[in-house]
């Protein structure tokens, strides 16, 4: 057992043992008995098991299994994983500043972050990482490569790359920096009166980033009267930042959220602490099924105080609050300590993990949801997330598009396109021409592109069932004839779904020239939720009706 893990184990046992002293009369005997059993079991396994064991792995698996029986948000971060914890709370890490992905036997750069070492060194999407500090990168996954690329700011790393379309290799010497992932990767105007801000996570100072983005939009666009705050795909983060973001558009002294836990001292009411930066701008918050936690607090608070409308899809439904405790020796425990309740009194937690996560947990059905009232008397419901005031579904991608994406052919074509074309139109205006789409279809001829349509999957299942039920060769032949017909028709699927595929290509190509902000800006022109929201913004009567009508 390493010294660091021994210390962690000792600290954990001491902490639990000390805690047990404060629970006299409350499971004291059971706690002490089980601590003794655990210690004896652990030492005997380490000393007498037939094969050599890795004590570090053994104790980590034991901790993970114990916490895994509670809820999916309670986690232990040993010293070697503390960087991942810091990234989720601060958005910062030491490294080169680039997204990476696996491609064949190697990992490649998928997108460098503007202004950081990878960008400064001239790395581009598609660059294959051959070596890192002279060590072969072949057959290493993204996790292994990420660990090698990350490190203390100021330290150097040499990356040997092979550029797309080239056979030679080149060494790039990069100096690691503190990389800060932008919580607001894009803001801009969608039309003369409507601003847009995308918030990707609730990390430290994200409220300041939103405030700065909003003030910049107002200064540059005095005619701005409406704002879309996009929280789609936002997994949440810091509770205090959710309160601060809400405060940007709500007056001082309003309740944002209440937290209630097992112990009385955990209960707390969070209110807005200062004046809003704007109480009059017409506000819409966008959510989808992956908007969670702090993102649900902000959208739910705006709904409960009737400050703005929520548009999109029902959110994830995470109404649990986590706090962290120092376990000593650079390790931390993140544990669920309370539930949060929105101003109306509702908790939007969708799954009751407190009944025992290890036995499986199911979502609370709609029939058991309780109604609450907003400030103006609109009905809102607890459990299962935030219901949008206006539901707008995002269409599913066709199987041909999913196949192109999964086989990285959208990515590869964009890389090839960038190599051949020194510039394109601005990200907001770039679209794929008919000739460029035909070029993409030609590009696929040499890529061995294969995919299975939904109909083919159904027919395959039918054939299996027919064989199981003994329907004979006639039925099987009819199904096979249908399969052959579908295979012939699949050749037309690229053009059948041309518009959808062209949009995916335009986004990926835009990112080659304008990076993350360009990808986002380009995607907005095709976004059905954005289109519906802009129509809503211009329909004053409909907007006000949704903001006042009882559902």
Strand 309-312 versus strand 282-287 pairing type: parallel
What the block records as the tokens of 64 is 């993970």
Q: How far apart are CA 157 and CA 229, in angstroms?
A: 39
**Which domains can be identified in the chain, with CATH numbers?**
3-68 (no CATH), 92-180 (2.30.42.10), 186-394 (3.90.226.10), 396-551 (no CATH)
Q: Which of 106, 79, 84, 109 is nearest to 94 (CA)?
A: 84
Angle at 213 between CA 504 and CA 518, to 5 degrees: 20
Cα within 13 Å of Cα(429), Cβ side:
3
pLDDT tens, position by position, 361-371: 678 889 999 99
Of the listed ranges 16-30, 181-195, 266-280, the one predicted with least confidence: 16-30
The whole-number pLDDT of residue 224 equals 98
The more confident residue out of 449 and 533 is: 533
Q: How many CB atoms lie within 10 A of CB 445?
A: 8
pLDDT tens, position by position, 414-470: 999 999 999 999 999 999 999 999 999 999 988 988 887 777 778 778 878 877 777
Q: What is the mean pLDDT of the chain?
A: 90
The whole-number pLDDT of residue 488 equals 66
* Helix (H/G/I), strand (E/B), else coil: 333: strand
Does residue 546 have a pLDDT over 60? yes
Predicted confidence band of residue 182 (pLDDT cuts 50, 70, 90) = very high
Q: How far apart are CA 498 and CA 515, in angstroms?
A: 24
The strand pairing partners of 269, in sequence order, are: 258
Q: How far apart are CA 323 and CA 333, in angstroms?
A: 8
CB 163 within 8 A of CB 191: no
Predicted confidence band of residue 11 (pLDDT cuts 50, 70, 90) = very low
Does residue 9 have a pLDDT over 60? no
Compute the average pLDDT of residues 114-143: 97
């Amino acid at each position: 057992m390493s010294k660091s893990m021994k210390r962690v184990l000792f600290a954990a046992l001491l902490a639990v043992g000390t805690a047990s002293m404060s629970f006299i009369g409350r499971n004291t005997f059971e706690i002490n008995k089980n601590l003794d059993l655990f210690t004896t079991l652990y030492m005997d396994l380490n000393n007498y098991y037939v094969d050599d064991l890795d004590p570090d792995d053994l104790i980590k698996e034991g901790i993970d299994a114990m916490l895994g029986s509670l809820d999916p948000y309670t986690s232990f971060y040993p010293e070697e994983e503390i960087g991942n914890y810091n990234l989720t709370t601060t958005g910062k890490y030491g490294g080169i500043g680039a997204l990476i992905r696996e491609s064949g036997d190697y990992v490649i750069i998928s997108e460098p972050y503007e202004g950081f070492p990878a960008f400064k060194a001239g790395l581009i999407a598609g660059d294959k990482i051959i070596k890192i500090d002279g060590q072969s990168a072949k057959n290493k996954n993204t996790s292994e490569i990420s660990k090698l690329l990350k490190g203390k700011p100021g330290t150097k790393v040499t990356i040997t790359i092979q550029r797309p379309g080239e056979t030679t290799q080149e060494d790039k010497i990069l100096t690691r920096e503190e990389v800060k992932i932008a919580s607001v990767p894009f803001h801009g105007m969608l039309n003369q009166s409507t601003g847009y801000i995308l918030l990707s996570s609730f990390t430290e100072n994200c409220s300041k980033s939103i405030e700065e983005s909003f003030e910049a939009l107002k200064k540059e666009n005095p005619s701005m009267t409406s704002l879309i705050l996009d929280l789609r795909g936002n997994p949440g983060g810091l509770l205090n930042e959710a309160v601060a973001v809400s405060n940007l558009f709500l007056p001082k002294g309003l309740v944002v959220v209440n937290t209630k836990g097992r112990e009385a001292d955990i209960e707390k009411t969070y209110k807005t602490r200062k004046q809003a930066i704007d109480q009059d701008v017409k506000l819409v918050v966008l959510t989808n099924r992956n908007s969670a936690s702090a993102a649900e607090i902000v959208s739910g608070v705006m709904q409960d105080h009737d400050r703005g409308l929520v548009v999109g899809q029902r959110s994830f439904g995470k109404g649990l609050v986590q706090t962290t405790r120092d376990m000593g020796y650079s390790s931390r425990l993140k544990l669920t300590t309370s539930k949060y309740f929105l101003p109306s009194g509702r908790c939007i937690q969708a799954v009751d993990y407190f009944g025992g996560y290890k036995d499986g947990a199911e979502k609370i059905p709609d029939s058991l949801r309780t109604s609450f009232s907003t400030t103006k008397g609109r009905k809102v419901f607890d459990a299962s997330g935030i219901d949008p005031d206006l539901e707008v579904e995002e269409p599913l991608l066709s199987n041909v598009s999913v196949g192109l994406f999964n086989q990285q052919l959208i990515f590869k074509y964009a890389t090839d396109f960038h190599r051949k074309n020194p510039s394109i139109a601005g990200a907001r205006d770039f679209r794929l021409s008919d000739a460029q789409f035909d070029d993409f279809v030609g590009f696929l001829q040499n890529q061995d592109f294969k995919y299975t349509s939904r109909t083919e999957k159904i027919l395959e299942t039918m054939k299996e069932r027919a064989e199981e039920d003994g329907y004979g060769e006639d039925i099987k032949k009819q199904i096979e004839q249908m399969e052959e017909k579908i295979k012939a028709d699949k050749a037309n699927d690229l053009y059948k779904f041309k518009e959808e595929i062209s949009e995916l290509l335009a986004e990926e190509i835009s990112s080659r020239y304008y990076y993350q902000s360009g990808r986002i800006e380009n995607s907005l022109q095709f976004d059905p939720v954005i289109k519906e929201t802009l129509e809503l913004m211009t329909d004053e009567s409909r907007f006000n009706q949704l903001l006042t009508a009882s559902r």
